[in-house]
Structure 1
């Protein structure tokens, strides 16, 4: 089947990675079903998707912690478009704070959204895909699903659980001989989204995006590629890939480095912040946004410029050596 004929469900489509992914699929001409708590933000996403030729959209306001709402999301998608080819579990929230300082209601909410929300999504989409004989389940985890951080315990726990969910599903489908349904897990590094400002925070310090920061569109391109070329797990961002590799060789060293990095660059040393539930229990207002204002696009451009300059310098050095070698001969 051509990608433009696919029907794609994206949760957390009101902003950040979810919105960027929805737009990326719309750009390919897919039918996109948009789910999140904020209808106004979903309508804004739908408007952006509709700019692309051939794209069709369906807005379904959904609280992913409500199993019946997620079942209704899948039902609406099938009623409108006849099938579900891709389901992207992306809706996620976060809570920062010392382990003993995060209220249990907030701890539980993070796990409900980030774990049970994904469970409900899989249980709603998998029967449809089994019946079709094809489909791709894409679960958005995080680099902290491989290397945990201090001060975001429920989020790290949830993202480890998402990896386990994907692994277990792949094994089950293999044992059952189901070949047409793919399960992929995406582990983004730090991404420039509104996520950090919307998180619950009990650290007393402002939460900032820990560098290096990458743009959401980078993750979205990876998500779209997985439909064409499924992979069991993929890390987005060179820094994330390096961290995962290092953690396999020297986990204790990486834990210590992550602790220092989080304390120095993930929590501001200059700006205080009042205790807040963030958007855990009440969604943010407004039309939402893809980017969080952390300079992901600018920093990506600077990194590319630096790499290009390094390669150019290496090429000049190599050329000089070759010239000297030729002169001596």
Structure 2
């Protein structure tokens, strides 16, 4: 069995949010680490943190939507450390807006990054895993891999696609190669402040926001003990059975909920955010959403109202 200090984790999307938190978590578990993202400057900062924790660290600036760069990442990791044990795809970009208001190139870049790029990266690393006879794929999807909501069609299409890809690929993998799909709910990262926005309103995270470190723990656990799917976040995971059991009611509730909580104030100028290029201010771990008590209280009211509406529907059906 490979000791932790001999294991190598490649983290794509390591400059911010879930990816950055995961890199630090792997370092605390004594992995050797390869950091990848589009922002070389921020990767240097993260590398100082992982090295301070005692982990040998390699930086490979990579745009996951560029197949040549992704292959270069695989080659660099193997050249430096001789193996890859965990391949973590945590890079994602995001856009809020009506489908017809989101420019086609923004929509396409979301699909290229969140879905096609991840698929290409899996294709690039699988030969290494097969040669080793072992390895772990850890793909970060979303609760939106299983439910849908308006104003985020590109993101939701990409995450639904990732779920389908993972479920189709897993039976094809030989013994020793695992695939874990992580499904976070709303996570307290900067993606909401710095994603693309074509709504004319300020974007707020749908509460309750979960600490990115919780997702990082799930990712590192999956590297050590693979699991098929892991949902992170207790409250919003209820949306999965709600949409299955009450699809029409769920669809009716999501639009007013988003308009009341996630899309407020304005006017705000349209922006493609960090979809095409990283922004330094978007590269922290936290987005500060867990400190916003008023939003959490609004969430409790929304959940209560939703449950009341569902109970009324169920009651009407049984009468």
Q: TM-score surpassing 0.5?
A: yes
Question: Structure 1 residues 41-50 or 286-295, which shifts more?
Answer: 286-295
Matched, 1:193 2:189: yes
Q: Which residue does 1:213 correspond to in 2?
A: 209
Q: Which residue does 1:284 correspond to in 2?
A: 279
Q: CA deviation at 1:226?
A: 0.8
Q: Which residue does 2:309 correspond to in 1?
A: none
- CA distance in 1 between counterparts of 2:157 and 2:189 reads 21
Aligned pair count reads 295
Q: Which residue does 1:254 correspond to in 2?
A: 250
Q: CA deviation at 1:228?
A: 2.1
- CA distance in 2 between counterparts of 1:82 and 1:28 reads 19
Q: 1:100 to 1:286 in 2, by over 3 A?
A: closer
- CA distance in 1 between counterparts of 2:268 and 2:149 reads 20
Q: Deviations over 1:97-136 (max 9, x none)?
A: 1111111011111111111110111011111111111111
Question: Is 1:142–1:189's contact at 8 Å kept on the other side of the alignment?
Answer: yes
- CA distance in 2 between counterparts of 1:212 and 1:157 reads 23
Q: CA deviation at 1:287?
A: 8.5
Q: Which residue does 1:127 correspond to in 2?
A: 127
Q: Which residue does 2:111 correspond to in 1?
A: 111
Q: Which residue does 1:326 correspond to in 2?
A: none
Q: Which residue does 1:226 correspond to in 2?
A: 222
Question: Is 2:143–2:231's contact at 8 Å kept on the other side of the alignment?
Answer: yes
Q: Which structure's CA Rg is the greater one?
A: 1
- CA distance in 1 between counterparts of 2:7 and 2:214 reads 21
- CA distance in 2 between counterparts of 1:25 and 1:180 reads 20
Q: CA deviation at 1:244?
A: 1.6
Q: Which residue does 2:269 correspond to in 1?
A: 274
Q: Which residue does 1:30 correspond to in 2?
A: 31
After superposition, residues 38-187 of structure 1 pair within 5 angstroms as 38-53=39-54, 55-173=55-173, 178-187=174-183
Question: Is 2:11–2:88's contact at 8 Å kept on the other side of the alignment?
Answer: yes
Q: What SS does structure 2 have at the residue aligned with 1:33?
A: strand
Q: CA deviation at 1:153?
A: 0.5
Question: Is 2:166–2:179's contact at 8 Å kept on the other side of the alignment?
Answer: yes
Q: What SS does structure 2 have at the residue aligned with 1:281?
A: coil
Q: Which residue does 1:313 correspond to in 2?
A: none
Q: 1:23 to 1:243 in 2, by over 3 A?
A: same
Q: Which residue does 2:308 correspond to in 1?
A: none
Q: CA deviation at 1:40?
A: 0.7
Q: What SS does structure 2 have at the residue aligned with 1:131?
A: helix
Q: Which residue does 2:12 correspond to in 1?
A: 11
- CA distance in 2 between counterparts of 1:163 and 1:46 reads 31
Runs of at least 4 residues of structure 1 off by over 4 A? none
Q: Which residue does 1:242 correspond to in 2?
A: 238
Q: Which residue does 2:317 correspond to in 1?
A: none
Q: What SS does structure 1 have at the residue aligned with 2:289?
A: coil
What are structure 1's unaligned runs of at least 5 residues?
304-329
Normalization by structure 2: what TM-score? 0.88
- CA distance in 2 between counterparts of 1:3 and 1:249 reads 43
- CA distance in 2 between counterparts of 1:198 and 1:80 reads 33
Normalization by structure 1: what TM-score? 0.86
Question: Structure 1 residues 129-138 or 1-10, which shifts more?
Answer: 1-10
**284, 287, 294: which one pairs with 2:289?**
294
- CA distance in 2 between counterparts of 1:127 and 1:291 reads 35
Cα RMSD (Å): 1.8
Q: CA deviation at 1:286?
A: 5.6
